[in-house]
Amino acid sequence: MALLLTLSVEHILLKCSYVLCFTIILHVLRLQTGSGSAWKGSGAKVAHGSSRELYSAILPGPRRFPGVPSPRLQEITRMPPSTSKFLGPCPDTPPGLKGPLNVDFDYKLTLDEVRKNISSPLKEGGRYKPLDCIAQQKVAIIIPFRNRHEHLKHWLYYLHPILERQQLDYGVYIINQDGEGVFNRAKLMNAGFVEALKEYDYDCFVFSDIDLVPMDDRNLYRCFQIPRHFSVAIDKFDFKLPSPANFGGVISLSKSQFSKINGFSNTFWGWGGEDDDLYLRVIFHGMSISRPDMVIGKYKMIKHVRDLHNEQNPVNADKVRHTKSTMNEDGINSLNYTVKEIVKDILYTWITVDIQAPLTV
């Protein structure tokens, strides 16, 4: 009987020890973390008010209570926050197009006025992408440039709203020729192609003269299965295509198409010939040219005199006769230039390049 009583007392004392230890641990935790805070242990977030959760957290081994999943199970099955809207691709025909546009150059503009005219948010560098859908193409707009600042303001004023309505993921790159040497439009566009790809994985390239503005926003600045000629009906030419072989003004080529033909020639200094050479590169590589109709393809040209150091070069016409033999060695793979300056404006990325231009031809 005495032995049984002794065992019962020891059993009671042992249970009391467990309770005492548990009470001490609970008290220490409250002192360390403060009332109402949470304690993180064993991967679980535990409130001091729950002794069952505290027990589960501080004692080894999985402890399950009815209706309370283990902390580890909670981690595994936690779902990411749901979103109410998933963006789909933009439609083939953008819904916000206006069609024929009134284009007027008979007034002065400032860049601040141009910025105020932009309703959608542009990002630094003249970058934009639609907010309500995923653009079908990533388009770099490449503009060869020198001393045409008034033209640039008009181009930006009209083109940014048009490009936004066309739901393009696009960037505008002004490739400015440094110095007073002979102008080389084609080499500048090659440099623009290379520089734009350093910034973003563009898959389409639109090459545009600064003095041409479309008169219909249904003329989509995209790339197609074959190279595209946009400016087919310019007011200067009575809205007629000067030649079936014309491939100048505003054109587009995909990255693969442009790489396939080795880009533009780098050797056409002065005015004329580089667009004829490009047309032959396309033809010699088994492609043809696509165009919009003569209504959608209307353009208005800003009137101007020919630039200094961009005079017609009679040598260029002879170079076109040798395109087939020179196109694989003269182009992107032989391009050399030096970037002098890059400026990021909200309306454009301005890249000044030294293309080692001669002073005369």
Q: 281-290 in b/e burial notation, b at 16+ Cβ within 10 A?
A: bbbeeebebe
Active site residue 301: yes
Of the listed 11, 52, 306, 321, which one is catalytic? 306
Of the listed 164, 195, 217, 275, which one is catalytic? 275
Active site residue 275: yes
Nearest to 141 by CA among 103, 174, 178: 174
Burial class (CB in 10 A: 0-12, 13-18, 19+), 63: middle
Give the Å distances, CA to CA, from 193 to 197, 252, 255, 275.
6, 12, 9, 16
Active site residue 330: no
Grouping H, G, I as helix, E, B as strand and the rest as coil, residue 345 is coil
Active site residue 322: no
Q: Kindly report the CA angle at 65 between 61 and 71, in degrees rounded to 5? A: 60
Active site residue 354: no
Of the listed 164, 195, 209, 276, which one is catalytic? 209
Active site residue 106: no
Going by C-beta distance under 8 Å and a sequence separation of 6 or more, which residues neighbour residue 110? 153
Strands 298-301 and 127-128: unpaired
Of the listed 72, 304, 321, 322, which one is catalytic? 304
Active site residue 311: no
Of the listed 154, 155, 189, 271, which one is catalytic? 271
| Partners of 339 in the β-ladder | 353
Grouping H, G, I as helix, E, B as strand and the rest as coil, residue 128 is strand
Of the listed 274, 276, 277, 330, which one is catalytic? 274
Token pair listed for 104: 């007027």
Active site residue 39: no
Query: Count of alpha carbons within 13 Å of 190, Cβ hemisphere only?
Result: 27
Q: Tokens 């080499």 appear where?
A: 187
- Residues 42 and 227: their CA atoms lie apart, in Å, by 62
Of the listed 53, 164, 195, 211, which one is catalytic? 211
Q: Kindly report the number of other CB atoms within 10 A of residue 79's CB atom.
A: 5
- Residues 2 and 255: their CA atoms lie apart, in Å, by 97
Token pair listed for 297: 């393809």
- Rounded to 10 degrees, what is the CA torsion of 194, 199, 202, 204? -50
Strands 38-41 and 44-47: antiparallel
Of the listed 301, 311, 345, 354, which one is catalytic? 301
User: Which residue numbers are catalytic?
Assistant: 209, 211, 271, 274-275, 301, 304, 306
